[in-house]
Structure formats: C-alpha cells, structure tokens
Amino acid sequence: MSPEQFRQYGHELVDWVADYWATLPGRRVRPDDAPGTVAGKLPATAPVAGDGLTGLVDDLDAIIAPGLTHWQHPRFFGYFPANTSGPSVLGDLVAAGLGTQGMLWATGPACTEVETVMLDWLADLLDLPGKFRSHATGGGVIQDSASSATLVATLAALHRASGGDWRTHGTRRRYTVYTSTEGHSSIEKAVRLAGIGDAGLRLIEVDDHTLAMNPDRLRERIAADLADGAVPALVVATVGTTSTTAVDPLPAIGEITREYGLWLHVDAAYAGAAAVCPELRHGHAGLEHADSYCFDPHKWLLTGFDCDAFWVADRAELIQALSVLPEYLRNAATDSDAVIDYRDWQVPLGRRFRALKLWFVLRWYGRDGLRAHIRSHVALARDFADLVRADPRFEIVAPSPYALVVFRLRGGAADDGDARNAALLDRLNAAGEVFLSHTRVRGRYALRVAVGSPQTTAVDVAAAWDAIRAAADGVCA
Ligand SMILES: *Cc1c(COP(=O)(O)O)cnc(C)c1O
C-alpha cells in the first residue's frame, strides 16, 4: 500500500468511524444472531491474490458492525464501561503508523519519556502519594490491563517476601496472597501464573453491609499462616470491586501490611478514574501505605483499550524482580543508569507507544474535561438510583459510591426471586434497546447499571428505566 493509497483509505475509514459513532443511538446495543453468523459470512480461505480491499466498507457495514456488542452505545450499561474517544483513536493511529518498539529507552526515547511524563501527569490528576512519581523513588508504566498489573505486583511481592530467593529458586516456599471474597478473578489468575497455586490464595471475608474486606479477618489469617510456616507475601486491596464497587479500608489494611512487611497492591481498575474529581477521592484514603496501585484509563477515562496505568512506590524493587539483560540488548544508555527501560516493568519485552493516546486524551480534555465526564455519569447514576428507590417493587442491594447501581426485584424465596431477576434481565437484553449485566450479592442474583459510555445522557438513563419497568411488568404479571 503506497502512502497515497493509505491516505485515501485512511480518509474513508476515519469517515466510517465518525459515522459509526454518529449512528450508534439508532442501533441495537447487541445482536441477537446465533453463534457462527459472522463466521458464516466470511470466505472459508484467505485470498490467494490480494483483493486491494475492494468492498471493504461494505463488508464493515454488512458483516462487522451488525455482529458486535456496541460498547460505545449510549445505552450500554453492562459490566464496566470501556471508553474510547476521538483523541484516543487518533493517538493510536499515530502510534500504529510509527510502529515503534519501546522496550528500551534506546529503542524509542520519546516512547519512554512521554510515558513517564504522562504517568506523572496522571498521578497528579489523581493526587496520588508523592512516592509514586518518577522524580521520587517510584514511577508509573502502562500495562495492557489491570490483570497484568496484578501479576507484576505479585512477582515483585514474591521477590520481596523471599529476600531475593524467588529469583533463583522460584516458589520453593509456601507463599500466601490475600484479597477479599469480592476481589477480581485476575488475582486468582496471577497467583496461579506466579506458581503459588490456588492453595496459596486467601479470600478474606467482607463486611455484610459494605462488602469491603474485614481487616480483623485479614490480620487473623496472616497470623495463622505465619504460625503454620507459610510466607505471606501480598495483599491485594480493591477500590471499587467489579461486582458492586465496594471499597476496601486501606488505612486499616495498610497498617497490617506495614506491620508484617507485606506488599500492598491496590486495584482500582474502574474506580481510579473517579479520583480526577477531588470529591470522589475518598477511596484513596490510606493509599500512602500502598507499594503499588493501578487503574484502567481504558475503562472510564476516555482512553481506548488497552491502557492500564500502574505505579510502584519503589521502582528498584520491581526492576530487581524482573530485570534480565541479554547481551543483544546491552547499550550505553542502559549501562549509564540514567534512563528507564520499561521492559523491566512488565512481562513482555516488546511494547507499543500507548502513551501517545493518553497524551492526546489529556491534551484534548484537560483536567476539567475529564472531571466533567466523570461527574456527569456519577450524577446520572444517582438519578437512576433515585428512580429505583421510588419503585417499591425494587431494592438497591449495595452502596453506590461511583456510577454503578446494583439492584433487584424484591421478594420471592431465594431461588424463585433469583429466577425472576434473571428472567427480567433476559427479557430486557433480548429487546436490544439497552444492555445490562448481572452479579450476585450475598448469594442473590442482582442487576447492574454501570453508567459510563461517553455518549450517555439523561435521556438514555430514563429510557433504560422505562425498559426495566416494562420488563418487570412482563415478569411480574
Ligand atoms: C475490570 C477489572 C479488572 C480487570 O481489568 P483488565 O484491565 O481487563 O485486566 C481488575 N480488577 C477490577 C477491580 C476490575 O474492575
């Protein structure tokens, strides 16, 4: 493809994306096609001679767009949001065109330095403790996802807990990792990947009302493991759990991790974005105890997947845990110790220029634009919660500190009530006008409305409530 051909197709496809965003409100949020529908529309084999992208836009319209769940749809309320935005896409376009490999400072100085500065900017915007900044002992890095951040934190924690032995001998001792029963599934995966095994994972009980980790139970469990000869290594606390956005008490947890010398990783994958607003930083109280922290700008901060921002308080510990330097990567800058080589901060060696989209997003929206984005969703979620509360058929089943509302139809014996709520969700999502997902709270089935799509307005939230009430009429009849 010549630069001239690229220019022509590029213009056409930028138009296509702009049209896609503009026409989202008129689309079903989710297709209702049977599995195999999309695959059935594709040729069985790759073309032998290139086809010059003939009919490309028609295929996007006929095959791809109708076969998607539209995460940017203003009536997408499922899971957590996965924001993208114009500036993010343009930053990614430039990064893709540059095709840089940023594994070392030397392989892409701007790729590394923009990332370091962006993570410092973000730390400022979220008012993170000073130790996480690059000009202090810490620093930030972009991981592909919060799952990778948790894995990297787990490895650094093992390095610390073993006094360095883990690097040489692996997990020859019985290490233990602690999170709450509401912690994300990626913690279990990290424990497995790190070679600790599921038997080393401790799920600490939560408070029945707040669904936050009970620090007394945490302390008891650590003490019991120590008495039993295990080596407690890591606590993963969550600010904004995936099920209900519960907030673990960092001040109390931090005292315990400090007392026992455990690594404290704080997973704020979704809720961290809210901390751009001073009035939504309550979950960060006690963050000065943390050894590492992460959140996903790719969830609720207008930055397209993938972009997880991960900070450590002591970069030396992380680098010691992960650094491997083969001869073919040796270079003067690395030897000088004056640069950051991000390959030592993550699992893969290679890395793309993800900081560019973050730079575009932060420049375009500024602090105030990001605050307005978060605040509008928090206000819409509050209004939605008020509507739910005003209808006696429904109950809210968990606190809503951010923009997620978790609720259910009241009543019914456990199984019966759960079945009615599941039927309500099926009916709602089958219609395709809105999309919600579900969870279980204290064992009972509940519906989740996560307000967070960039285009969502009060009209969409009102329409969702109308659709929920109509579906409830059907289920209760
Ligand atoms: C979404 C989520 C994750 C996983 O996020 P990825 O970036 O997709 O790996 C981890 N923890 C919490 C609390 C989450 O909400």
Given the structure tokens 């929920």, which residue do they identify?
468
Q: What is the pLDDT of residue 188?
A: 98
Question: What token pair was written down for 141?
Answer: 């890095």
How many Å lie between the centroid of ligand 1 and the Cα of residue 182? 12
- Sheet order of strands, 437-441 included: 394-396, 404-409, 444-450, 437-441
Average pLDDT estimate for 87-99 = 98
Confirm or reject: Cβ of 294 under 6 Å from ligand 1: no
Name the closest-CA residue to atom 4, ligand 1: 146
Q: What are 342-384's pLDDT values in tens digits?
A: 999 999 999 999 999 999 999 999 999 999 999 999 999 999 9
- Strand duo 308-312 + 139-143: pairing: antiparallel
Confirm or reject: Cβ of 421 under 6 Å from ligand 1: no
Contact of 374 with 401, CB cutoff 8 Å? no
Q: Exposed/middle/buried for 158, CB within 10 Å: 0-12, 13-18, 19+?
A: buried
Name the closest-CA residue to atom 15, ligand 1: 242
Kind and range of the H or E run holding 234: strand 231-238
Q: Could you tell me how far CA 407 lies from the centroid of its own chain?
A: 22
Mutate which of 242, 247, 293, 402 for ligand 1 pocket (most atoms within 8 A of beta carbon):
242
How many Å lie between the centroid of ligand 1 and the Cα of residue 147? 6
Q: Residue 145 CA: which ligand 1 atom is closest?
A: 7
Judged by DSSP in three states, 88 sits in helix
Superfamily of the domain at 1-30+69-84+366-477: Aspartate Aminotransferase, domain 1 (3.90.1150.10)
Kind and range of the H or E run holding 407: strand 404-409
Q: What single string gives the DSSP state of each residue in 157-182?
A: HHHHHTTTHHHHH-S-S-EEEEEETT
Judged by DSSP in three states, 290 sits in coil
How many Å lie between the centroid of ligand 1 and the Cα of residue 270? 7
pLDDT, mean over the chain: 96
Cα separation values, 59 from 23, 186, 419, Å: 17, 36, 40
Q: Could you tell me how far CA 51 lies from the centroid of its own chain?
A: 38
How many Å lie between the centroid of ligand 1 and the Cα of residue 122? 18
Q: What is the pLDDT of residue 411?
A: 82
Q: What are 1-54's pLDDT values in tens digits?
A: 999 999 999 999 999 999 999 999 999 999 999 999 999 999 999 999 988 888
Q: Report the CATH number of the 100-352 domain.
A: 3.40.640.10
pTM score of the predicted model? 0.97
Question: What token pair was written down for 378?
Answer: 């928090």
Which residues are registered as beta bridge partners of 394?
409
pLDDT grade for 432, boundaries at 50, 70 and 90: very high
d(CA 319, CA 345) in angstroms, rounded, equals 6
d(CA 68, CA 60) in angstroms, rounded, equals 11
Ordered by start, the domain boundaries in the chain are 1-30+69-84+366-477, 100-352
Residue 238 has pLDDT above 80, yes or no: yes
CA quadruple 44, 45, 46, 48: dihedral sign: negative
d(CA 419, CA 398) in angstroms, rounded, equals 20
Q: What is the pLDDT of residue 237?
A: 98
Q: Within 13 A of 236's CA, how many CA atoms are on the CB side?
A: 36
Residue 275 has pLDDT above 80, yes or no: yes
Average pLDDT estimate for 377-397 = 97
Confirm or reject: Cβ of 242 under 6 Å from ligand 1: yes
d(CA 80, CA 63) in angstroms, rounded, equals 26
Residue 313 has pLDDT above 80, yes or no: yes
Identity of the residue numbered 150: T
Given the structure tokens 């040796």, which residue do they identify?
330
Which residue from 473, 393, 452, 471 is spatially nearest to 74, judged by alpha carbons?
Answer: 452
Q: What are 180-217's pLDDT values in tens digits?
A: 999 999 999 999 999 999 999 999 999 999 999 999 99
d(CA 261, CA 175) in angstroms, rounded, equals 14
d(CA 241, CA 248) in angstroms, rounded, equals 9
How many Å lie between the centroid of ligand 1 and the Cα of residue 124? 22
Between helix 250-260 and helix 215-227 the angle, nearest 10°, is 20
Q: Within 13 A of 88's CA, how many CA atoms are on the CB side?
A: 19
Q: What is the pLDDT of residue 56?
A: 92
